[in-house]
Chain A
Amino acid sequence: MALLDIKDLNVTFSKGAERVHAVRGVSFAVAEGESYGIVGESGSGKSTVLRAICGLAPVTGGTIRIDGQQLADDRRPDFYRKVQMVFQDPYASLHPRHTVDKVLSEPLAIHGFSDRETRVEQALEDVGLGKGFRFRYPHQLSGGQRQRVAIARALILEPRILLLDEPTSALDASIQAEVLNLLDRIRGERGLTYVLVSHDLSVVAHMCERLMVMQHGQAVEEMTRASLQSRSATQDYTRKLLIASLGYRAAQEEQAS
């Protein structure tokens, strides 16, 4: 049985008379321990899917099941112990007036953990930051260090599912490699389940076993890593993305031929 099972998910944002149908009937299932990718361009609704799972976007149709249990509209406290999220921009996802220590102890305080000291230190250790970072403010950290703190925050409640929303797109290439390796290692160690959203096919190919391509709020095609690596897409849009990922010169040649 799939750990995360989404069927016919619809998300509609309404503001006054305006309605934006951001996700239209998307279905997918992720098994325990699997890493699933969602690829698409801006406005494809890929991040909205993640936000809908967390209850941060208005679900207007379809079901979301975790462990076979359908989620109620209001997320119960135990949901947050199972599912956590890492956001795209590490410069926007940490409270500017809170130290790393505060960021990491807050979830522990909310859920009534008693051994906070050791857990905070352990969490920093796990993401490759030493004790020296514990009492720093976000402005004293680099982008990569901030994202490590955000990952530590997501892991500190020991969730089973980690939702990753473009976790490296705001980072330099060399830092991206470090963060991707960290995420990969942690998944191996803890048997976590990932849903990773990215616009970058190569990141998804590296991190995920299966993936879904989205466009205009709809699922275009579902692929395995192997079919992505052999570039055997069945849909035009996926092919277009694959060509664009080759870089400018190759894309020009591809188009000419």
Chain B
Amino acid sequence: MTDLLNVKNLRIAFPSRQGPVEVVRGVSFAMGRERLGIVGESGSGKSQTGRAILGLTPPPGKATADRLEFDGTDLRQATKAQWRDIRGERISMVMQDPKFSLNPVMTIGRQLTETYRTHRKATKAEAQERGLEMLNAVQIRDPERVMNAYPHELSGGMGQRAMIAMMLVTEPELLIADEPTSALDVTVQIEVLRILDRLVSERGMGLIFISHDLRLVSSFCDRVLVMYAGQVVEEVKATELTRAKHPYTKGLFNCLPKIEGGERPLPTLQRDEAWAL
């Protein structure tokens, strides 16, 4: 099986008064059509890793890599035209808060159909139909109403589902989801995950699931990369997370309170400077 995405030695640096600061320091991984989780705390570089794959490192940051290949295409050398074909068409990204990613003065329907038509040269009617189909796919009960609604008229869960529908309308081969469910209630969270899950298993999409929530990621993904201070400290199979070896992963897992009760006081994470080297 050839890799869908292959990243080798990804580095992202931001300039500062004291010289460049690296927020991602040599991240490498390869993935196929699977669910890959990237877990880390704030500042671990997990979100920047996701953005860099799409070439969306915010300036003045600079991303470099020895290898950054998507389905055989070298993304480092991609021209503007190639990026247009890739972004939104073959790789999509879902952000944490739908409020910032949806255009507030355009109806959901218009945003959905326009995304589709820019990539597929479809007629208006076809796009409309396709949009309704996608809203159905993300389990929105009354898609006609949502099509004519503005983003602020939707609840958080609805907005996030509409956002996912928009990202999926072009049937991307890879979806990068950055904390897609963190703003949602637990019960809605499970529903959104079910949609993503179905897309991976039924359409063979690759999914990078970026989150701070170790427990959620481990219960959803196949493999988990644990990031700390810009590096991947451990890669574990999701089912074997309880047997993780790196003290950071262990610490992160143990410091979560449990419904069944556990240690009191909670074990805290003792950070070792050596982890960041």
Contact between A and B in the complex (any CB pair below 8 Å): yes
In the bound assembly, the distance between CA atoms of A177 and B256 in angstroms comes to 7
Q: Which of A22-48 contact B (CB under 8 A)?
A: 41-42
Complex contact B265–A174 (CB within 8 A): no
Known contacts A177-B267, A177-B269, A202-B256; is-contact A245 B261 (Cβ 8 Å): no
* A228 (CB) vs chain B CBs: closest residue: B259
Q: SS class of chain B's interface: helix, strand, loop or mixed?
A: loop
Q: A180 near B: Cβ within 8 Å?
A: yes
Given A205-B259, A206-B257, A229-B261, also A173-B187 (CB < 8 A): no
Question: Which of A7-15, A103-111, A247-255 contacts the other chain?
Answer: A247-255
Interface string of B223-264 (1 = CB under 8 A from A): 000000000000000000000000000011001111111101
At the interface, yes or no: A185 with Cβ under 8 Å from chain B?
Answer: yes
- B255:A176 contact, CB within 8 angstroms: yes
Chain B: residues with Cβ within 8 Å of the partner, total of 35
Selected contact of A244 from candidates B190, B262, B264, CB within 8 Å: B190
In the complex, the answer to whether B185 meets A172 with C-beta atoms within 8 Å is no
Interface hub of A143, A205, A225 (most chain B Cβ within 10 A): A205
Q: A174-B252, A181-B266, A206-B258 are in contact. Are A249 and B220 (CB under 8 A)?
A: yes
- The residues of A that contact B42 with a CB separation of less than 8 Å are 143, 172
CB-nearest residue of chain A to B255: A177
Q: Give 1 or 0 for each of B174-194: 1 = CB within 8 Å of chain A CB.
A: 000000000001110110011
Partner of A247, one of B218, B251, B257, B265: B218
Asked if A178 is an interface residue, CB under 8 A from chain B, the answer is yes
A174 touches B41 (CB 8 A): yes
A201 an interface residue at 8 Å Cβ cutoff?
A: yes
Give CA–CA (A143, B43) in the complex, Å. 12
- A202 and B257 contact, CB distance less than 8 A: yes
Residue B61 interfacial (CB < 8 Å): no
Q: How far is the CA of A205 from the CA of B215 in the complex (A)?
A: 17
> Once the chains bind, are B256 and A173 in contact (CB under 8 Å)?
yes
Determine if A121 is an interface residue (Cβ-Cβ < 8 Å).
no
CA distance in complex: A244, B216 (Å) = 10
Contact with B along A143-174 (1 / 0, CB 8 A): 10000000000000000000000000000111
A residues 192-232 in Cβ contact with B at 8 Å: 199, 201-203, 205-207, 225, 228-229, 231
Known contacts A41-B185, A173-B214, A174-B252, A202 near B258 by CB under 8 Å: yes
Q: A177 near B259 (CB under 8 angstroms)?
A: no
Q: Is the CB of A203 within 8 A of B216?
A: no
Is A129 in the interface zone, CB < 8 Å from B? Answer: no
A177 B268 Cβ-Cβ under 8 A: yes
How far does the alpha carbon of A41 sit from the alpha carbon of B181 in the complex, in Å?
Answer: 14
A252 to B198, CA, bound (A): 12
Interchain Cβ contacts within 8 Å, total number: 96
Q: Is the CB of A249 within 8 A of B259?
A: no
Contact of A181 (CB < 8 Å), options: B220, B259, B265:
B265
Asked if residues B156 and A42 are in contact (CB atoms below 8 Å), the reply is yes
Judge whether B187 and A249 touch: CB under 8 Å: no
Any A CB within 8 A of the CB of B219: yes
Tell me, rounded to whole Å, the shortest Cβ–Cβ distance linking A232 to chain B: 12
Indicate which residue in A42, A173, A180, A246 contacts B185 across the interface (CB closer than 8 Å): A42
A98 in the interface, Cβ–Cβ < 8 Å?
Answer: no
- Taken together as a complex, chains A and B put the C-alpha atoms of A244 and B251 apart, in Å, by 24
| Residues in B neighbouring A201, C-beta threshold 8 A | 259
Known contacts A42-B185, A172-B41; is-contact A247 B220 (Cβ 8 Å): yes
Does chain B have a CB within 8 A of A241?
A: yes
- Given A201-B259, A202-B257, are A247 and B266 also a contact pair (CB < 8 Å)? no
Cα of A42 to Cα of B183 in the assembled complex, Å: 10
B99 at the interface (CB under 8 A from A): no
* Structural contact, B268 and A247, CB atoms closer than 8 A: no
> Is A139 part of the contact surface with B, judged by Cβ < 8 Å?
no
**A5 close to chain B: CB less than 8 A:** no
In the complex, the answer to whether B266 meets A199 with C-beta atoms within 8 Å is no
Indicate if B212 sits at the interface (CB-CB under 8 A): yes
In the complex, the answer to whether B266 meets A177 with C-beta atoms within 8 Å is yes
Residues on B with beta carbons closer than 8 Å to the beta carbon of A184: 264-265
Q: How far is the CA of A10 from the CA of B60 in the complex (A)?
A: 51
Minimum CB–CB distance from A165 to chain B (whole Å) comes to: 16
Verify A229–B260 contact, CB threshold 8 A: yes
**A219 to B: closest C-beta gap in Å:** 18
- Which residues of chain A are within 8 angstroms of B185 by Cβ–Cβ distance? 41-42, 199
Q: List 22 A-B contacts (CB under 8 A).
A: A143-B42, A173-B255, A177-B255, A177-B268, A178-B268, A181-B266, A202-B258, A205-B259, A206-B257, A206-B258, A206-B261, A206-B262, A206-B264, A241-B186, A244-B189, A245-B259, A247-B219, A247-B220, A248-B190, A248-B194, A250-B219, A251-B190
Q: What 4 new A-B contacts, CB under 8 Å, besides A173-B252, A247-B215?
A: A41-B186, A176-B256, A231-B259, A250-B219
The 4 closest A-B pairs by CB, nearest first: A247-B219, A206-B257, A177-B255, A41-B185
